[in-house]
Amino acid sequence: MMRPAKTTKTESSRPALLQAMIDAFRVPDLRGKILFTFGMLIVFRFVAHVPLPGVDQFALDNLFRNNQLLGFLNLFSGGALQNLSVAALGVYPYITSSIIMQILTPVFPQLKALAEEGELGRQKINQITHWITIPIALLQGYGQLILLQRAGVLTGVGFSGDNLIPTLAMITSLICGTMFLVWLGELITERGLGNGVSLIIFGGIVAGFPKLIGQGFLEGGQNIGGLMLLVLLGIGIIYFIVLFTEGERRIPVQYGRSVFRGGRMYRQTGGSHLPIKVNSAGMIPLIFAFSIMILPATLASYFADPLSTSMLSTIAGSIENAFSTTGPVYWIAVFFLVIAFAFFYTLITFSQQKLAENLQKNGGFVPGIRPGKPTQEFLNRTILRVTWGGAIFLGFVAIMPYFATQITDIRALTLSSTSLLIMVGVALDTMRQLEAQLLMRQYEGFIN
């Protein structure tokens, strides 16, 4: 039988995080999970540097400095898009497919019935999600290749003449790269530690940080005060992300059961609580909002021509200017879109969980509230009130890069709120799973 190691005076003086890591490596199976996770992330970083042929890297770097959409998609590819590697699409098509399935499940009765079949139903929905990922990756991959060809980064993209075979080869490589990363993520989830797909995005963001920070300090090194202020703002944002991510409204729940004792029936009750997260939607509202706001400017850029006086070119130029990230209109729209999508996604998620129905089936009830429809109405009101705090918080997190740039006057090093939100969320989730593994073996965890 495995016994927890005795705590010595030296160990008790160590920080809890460091001690928890030492304790985790003392357990053979847990050490294996951690090493396996790191190994899969290393494989991902190798794949992210296998480039497609015929790429002008200098032109590609210039394009990323001036294109918002590619910079946003590069976040979810873990930096692979900026290298135009076989993993350039990252896991973004799979994330899009998962979001589509979450939205469609309560709408279509067939999918709704599958979701209620337990583990077998979830496996079938997961299989459908994988199949939907392939056409999404095909369309996204071809769109990115066309965009890069117009920017002069690639040549010979098309389905006519001699371009057919090279184009099919590049698109197939991109699709295979995406499905390989999804497979790596599922391996991490099954045999490693944490959510694999999230950890792949996390690993890509972390891998790109040294280059981003180095570039920011190189170009903004003369503005020491601005750099220090930017660092303080980053620490403050991380603090509030942790605060709102961990924040929850606990609704008291009672469970009653009847037992026979001495020929008589007694009713026993036990107390628990139903946690309602302040930020139940996570990073999804930011993804939706930025995707919608970036798309009009990107499409308008194809038709805008400063040398042309046509009406189409003038309208396209106006749209491109209105949706520019340097203006306040763009960020005001992002703020309200994030709030709207936070409510939309949260309500869809909670409607699928059927909290009131499941409570009634398990003999649970909220004290002072009748089971059934009254409980559902009470939970809906509570979720709406709690979501206001999370939605406004996400809105401020989304627009913080604009304010940070205006305050510090540093444009080379931009605070990516989406990156910070993803990193903090994935780190907290992985720490919770590691803590649960440690507590099962009677070790002290990260939080407790």
Q: How confident is the model at residue 10 (pLDDT cuts 50, 70, 90)?
A: very low
Most confident of the following: 73-82, 88-97, 127-136, 351-360:
127-136
pLDDT for residue 141 is more than 80: yes
Rounded average pLDDT over 126-153: 84
The single-letter DSSP state of residue 19 is: H
pLDDT for residue 131 is more than 90: yes
| Alpha-carbon dihedral sign for residues 415, 62, 201, 347 | positive
Residue 269 lies in a domain: yes
Using alpha carbons, select from 122, 125, 119 the residue that is nearest to residue 101. Answer: 125
What pLDDT is stored for residue 15 in this prediction?
52
Rounded average pLDDT over 272-278: 81
Residue 252 lies in a domain: yes
What strand order describes the sheet that includes 248-261?
Answer: 264-277, 248-261, 364-365
Rounded average pLDDT over 301-321: 67
Residue 11 lies in a domain: no
What pLDDT is stored for residue 132 in this prediction?
92
And the tokens for 155?
């040549």
pLDDT digits (tens, 9 = 90+) for 201-244: 888 777 776 666 666 666 555 666 666 777 787 788 888 888 88
Alpha helices (H) in 354-413, listed in sequence order: 355-361, 373-408
And the tokens for 3?
């016994």
What pLDDT is stored for residue 180 in this prediction?
92
What pLDDT is stored for residue 295 in this prediction?
67
Helix 373-408 to helix 417-440 angle (10° resolution) is 130
Instruction: Indicate the pairing of strand 264-277 with strand 364-365.
Output: unpaired
Please state, in angstroms and rounded to a whole number, the distance separating the CA atoms of residues 146 and 165. Answer: 15
What pLDDT is stored for residue 75 in this prediction?
62
Please state, in angstroms and rounded to a whole number, the distance separating the CA atoms of residues 318 and 315. Answer: 5
Instruction: Indicate the pairing of strand 264-277 with strand 248-261.
Output: antiparallel
What pLDDT is stored for residue 58 in this prediction?
74
Using alpha carbons, select from 278, 256, 254 the residue that is nearest to residue 267. Answer: 256
CA distances from 397 to 224, 234, 241, 373 (A): 24, 11, 8, 35
Q: How confident is the model at residue 5 (pLDDT cuts 50, 70, 90)?
A: very low
Of 81-90, 260-269, 342-351, 414-423, the one with minimum mean pLDDT is 260-269
Of 109-113, 299-303, 415-419, 442-446, the one with minimum mean pLDDT is 442-446
Residues in the chain: 448
More confident of the two residues 110 and 18: 110
Residue 431 and residue 235 in contact, taking contact as beta carbons nearer than 8 Å:
no
Residue 317 lies in a domain: yes
| Residue 195 CB contacts under 8 Å (≥ 6 apart), including other chains | 185, 188, 189, 426, 429, 430
Residue 3 lies in a domain: no
Residue 40 and residue 32 in contact, taking contact as beta carbons nearer than 8 Å:
no
Residue 333 lies in a domain: yes
CATH of the domain at 326: 1.10.3370.10
- Which backbone phi and psi does 279 adopt, to 5 degrees? -115, 75
- Which backbone phi and psi does 364 adopt, to 5 degrees? -100, 155
pLDDT above 70 covers a percentage of the chain that reads 73
What pLDDT is stored for residue 67 in this prediction?
63
* DSSP-based three-state secondary structure for 254: strand
Residue 36 lies in a domain: no
Please state, in angstroms and rounded to a whole number, the distance separating the CA atoms of residues 384 and 346. Answer: 9
What pLDDT is stored for residue 73 in this prediction?
64
Whole-structure pTM value: 0.74
What pLDDT is stored for residue 408 in this prediction?
67
Residue 193 and residue 202 in contact, taking contact as beta carbons nearer than 8 Å:
no
HEC profile for 122-176?
HHHHHHHHHHHHHHHHHHHHHHHHHHHHHCCCCCCCCCCHHHHHHHHHHHHHHHH
CA distances from 407 to 147, 332, 337 (A): 34, 17, 24
Q: How confident is the model at residue 175 (pLDDT cuts 50, 70, 90)?
A: very high
Residue 44 and residue 87 in contact, taking contact as beta carbons nearer than 8 Å:
yes
pLDDT for residue 148 is more than 60: yes
E strand residue ranges, 262-398: 264-277, 364-365
What is the domain range of residue 335?
223-411
pLDDT for residue 297 is more than 80: no
pLDDT digits (tens, 9 = 90+) for 27-74: 788 888 889 999 998 998 888 888 877 677 777 777 776 665 666 666
The pLDDT mean for the chain works out to: 76
What pLDDT is stored for residue 153 in this prediction?
74
Domain count along the chain:
1
* DSSP-based three-state secondary structure for 24: helix
Rounded average pLDDT over 346-363: 76
Using alpha carbons, select from 241, 206, 237, 213 the residue that is nearest to residue 227. Answer: 213
What pLDDT is stored for residue 99 in this prediction?
79
Residue 359 lies in a domain: yes
Residue 375 and residue 315 in contact, taking contact as beta carbons nearer than 8 Å:
no
Q: How confident is the model at residue 2 (pLDDT cuts 50, 70, 90)?
A: very low
